[in-house]
Amino acid sequence: MDALALRERMVGRLKAAGTIRSPAVERALRAVPRHAFIPNVPMEEAYADGVVFVKAHAGLTISSASQPTMIALMLEQLEVAPGSRILEIGTGSGYNAALLAHLTGPNGFVTTVELEADLAGAAQHALALFGTANVRVVTGDGSGGYPGDGPYDREIVTACALDIAPAWWEQLRDGGRLVVPLALDQVQRSIAFERDGSLLRSASVIDCAFVALRGSAAQTPHAAGDRAMAIASGTMHVTAMRRNAIDPAVLARAEIVLERAATIFAIGSRRA
């Protein structure tokens, strides 16, 4: 089966499962050839509904091409409008950046930041071959975002974070949306936050599984083991794993908004 037929089969499978909900995301997934961004795997594997490992270090995976189901779900969470300015943290293969570029169109712009210089270079090459002109690939620590192209209408993080980096908040336009996989206790949740002045309110929450974010954000005082959060029965629990891991004064100022939408709790919290 050729690449086009495999891509059509992939999209058909995602539509049948209800993963693709919008015509814009469907068009993007039909238009962008996934195999062009992960050229060292068999064609069938490139369009299977699985993760493709891109780079490992010391026996640990540090970059992967996400499962198409997860990509589609997060793109639906992001709700890209034509002409949007988008920040992506974690370029990886460049496939997701190409999808974002298609979604925002020629009047929009995508800035994608990758910590690994070789991955950034390979992604830039693949994007150029595909003819994507409205993407800037930046080599650097995504924890700091990229203020030069901000403020952004949309931001998406493609690795699991322990917290929301201040730069992502500061570079997000009021009314803009941030989609980020967060580690909450023993699980990961991809949460879509909308900025409302000094507040981030979540619009949706889905289960996910990502490699850990690397860079300075992985070294924050909120590193793994310092705190855990869990949501159950409409209540958010914050547990400190060591003394002074959480400032009670900051917690007292926090505004937690829980709204039930079907079986999903939406969470919003005021920045300290």
Quickly list DSSP for 166-194. HHHHHTEEEEEEEEEEEEETTEEEEEEEE
∠ at Cα 124 (122, 128), nearest 5°? Answer: 115
Sort 212 into a burial class: Cβ within 10 Å, 0-12 / 13-18 / 19+: middle
Alpha helix (H) ranges present in 32-141? 43-46, 68-78, 95-104, 117-130
Give the torsion through C-alpha atoms of 97, 100, 105, 108, to 10 deg. -80
∠ at Cα 202 (65, 229), nearest 5°? Answer: 80
Residue 122 carries which side chain, given as an amino acid letter? A
Torsional sign, CA 109, 132, 38, 76 = positive
Residues facing residue 201 across a β-bridge = 194, 268
CA 215 to chain centre: 16
Angle between helices 95-104 and 23-31 (to 10 degrees): 130
Distance from C-alpha of 72 to C-alpha of 76, rounded to nearest angstrom:
6
What values do phi and psi take at 244, rounded to 5?
A: 65, 15
| Active-site entry in 22, 63, 64, 198 | 63
63 is catalytic: yes
Q: Hey, which residues are catalytic here?
A: 63
